[in-house]
Amino acid sequence: MTEKQIKSKKTLRQKVESILAQSEKARNNDRYLLYYYWKHYDKVNFKNFATEFIRKATSAESITRMRRMIQDEGRFLPTDEVQTLRKAREREMRKAVKQREVI
């Protein structure tokens, strides 16, 4: 089996973990994570993005959901600053949902 075939056999989780392990930007920002994933694993040609994206790209939700699962396990965490920001956003969202339930 060639190295290229071995790479293609990796699971979504293994691919996302590989990116998170190598890139602090990807741990902190889902846009970077998506870009790296689509470029390196799905081989999306960004010069012809629309067509390539529709044909090849893994769902953004699948990739970001896997990032959340991995980071919820305490692995490949974002910087402290980003963690603080995400927690604040989570509190705001919970508060908004709770207020809506009361109404």
The answer to the question of residue 85 being in a domain is no
From CA 75, how far away is CA 72, in angstroms rounded? 7
The answer to the question of residue 90 being in a domain is no
The answer to the question of residue 33 being in a domain is yes
Domain, as residue range, for 22: 7-77
What's the pTM?
A: 0.67
Identify the pLDDT of residue 47: 87
With beta carbons less than 8 A apart as the criterion, state whether 40 and 26 touch.
no
The two three-digit tokens of residue 37, written as one number: 């994933």
Write out pLDDT tens, residues 28-82.
999 999 999 999 999 998 888 888 888 889 999 999 999 999 999 999 999 999 9
The answer to the question of residue 19 being in a domain is yes
**Does residue 1 surpass a pLDDT of 60?**
no
Write out pLDDT tens, residues 9-22.
789 999 999 999 99
The answer to the question of residue 93 being in a domain is no
Identify the pLDDT of residue 9: 75
Confidence of residue 6 (pLDDT cuts 50, 70, 90): low
**Total count of domains within the chain:** 1
The answer to the question of residue 100 being in a domain is no
